[in-house]
Structure 1
């Protein structure tokens, strides 16, 4: 286990958003959102804001982002959060049956590959991309339009991994979901899961793409983005009204964190999990 991060030298209430980024709560930011909603280019905004939450630890940005996407897709965690509720109520539910321990993530964060594997373990279909060449900006733009202004009911979420410093912010690598696209100004709405640090904000697509080209010291590769889709058998995210509470006897559904020995694949999952890899480089928190 890597050592924990050192204690902070001073306390911070919040960070000041760089002036070239537009806060959602500003007059201009609200206007951009209203226009995006009117133009049907904010497909992910309502599903994500219904489950929008603050990362509970400075290193949990990737985990919290995935938690929001799983809840937006109404994925069943198969464990109980509190009482009888099957819901990703916090990051510990997501990590409770995972090979990645919460303490390890708390100390070093997660890589793009680890987050992809974790999403797949929870049933999502994930397409991970990196800006290998400058031509990949067009691919990113294609995914922006497919996810945020789909011709039919939205069936995918767009998550980005970018360098904060490239946008004039403090910190290094960070994960967050995109919620809307304003085509006239060519900006996307980024729902920053570090709500204690920066508000949701609009960022030009080209600037965000460039922020994803910066190299991650841990993997020696650029950062990038994901197109996350719900499980094939899921219909809860396709506009189908909820008509069932999907009740099960509580005795058959363990609480998050309880040992689940009934699963015959559990040892196999541990032995072959691709997310667990030794890492020697420490990661700066969000």
Structure 2
């Protein structure tokens, strides 16, 4: 693979190899391909430096919005294609100025998604022995622990087999060997099983959308968020 096709450990979607992987997904008639098309159509960049979590939620919401339940629930409240501003105006629990200044942590994103009528579930990534031993001892029902790449892969397969489910990942960008020194949120759009990669819709305007190995992505999530002092992970969004 030519180095120009890579952005750190990510195969850029706009590269020849990236387009080949996308075409492979499109050539299937699976739920995976349906989700991929709706997520690509819904894709937007974050509007502010620290609103990656909100932008990721907007993409997932707009991708799911075609479902009748969401159309009925938000008629007159959110536009058919909502924006970050629409989310802030609808969700009175989100402190817009604080989020624009410092961003969000996973549990704050869970609360925001719940306020939008979605059903979110948190998985933190922790491969330590202690995490494996205590994985059944979670503090609340929506919080689980993924202790290995294989468990993360199974979650990926589960999400991309459900038309009404989406996944947002919270990861440390330097672990993917990019030049951006901070944690980040972005949604996943597709799973390429043969290449063991997922399509990461990076919402940061100076970055690239692309395909990342599941093992590399898991390692970037198995890191500590300095704002919460907890491990990063992912958030699955479903329609209630």
TM-score higher than 0.5 = yes
Q: How does 1:164-179 map to 2 (within 5 A)?
A: 164-169=173-178, 170-179=180-189
Q: Aligned-pair distance for 1:168?
A: 1.2
Per-residue CA shift, 1:63-98, capped at 9, x if unaligned? 0110111111113445556xxxx3453211111142
State the match for 1:65 in structure 2.
56
Per-residue CA shift, 1:215-244, capped at 9, x if unaligned? 00011111001111012xxxxxxxxxxxxx
Q: How many residues align?
A: 208
* 3-state SS of 2:18 partner: helix
* 3-state SS of 1:177 partner: strand
Q: Does the alignment pair 1:90 with 2:112?
A: no
Cα gap change, 1:182 to 1:210, in 2 (>3 Å) = same
Larger strand percent: 2
Q: Structure 2, unaligned stretches of length 5 or more?
A: 129-146
Q: Structure 1, unaligned stretches of length 5 or more?
A: 1-15, 232-286
Q: Does the alignment pair 1:157 with 2:161?
A: no
Cα-Cα RMSD: 1.9
Deviates more, 1:39-48 or 1:201-210: 39-48
Pick from 18, 31, 36 the counterpart of residue 20 of structure 2.
31
Cα gap change, 1:77 to 1:60, in 2 (>3 Å) = farther
Cα gap change, 1:69 to 1:141, in 2 (>3 Å) = same
Query: Which structure has the larger Rg?
Result: 1
Distance 1:200 1:220 in 2: 28
Normalized against structure 1, the TM-score is what? 0.68
Distance 1:166 1:19 in 2: 9
- Divergent runs of 4+, >6 A: none
Distance 1:93 1:19 in 2: 33
Distance 1:19 1:118 in 2: 31
State the match for 1:266 in structure 2.
none
Distance 1:158 1:87 in 2: 21
Normalized against structure 2, the TM-score is what? 0.80
Larger helix percent: 2
* 3-state SS of 2:163 partner: coil
State the match for 2:100 in structure 1.
106
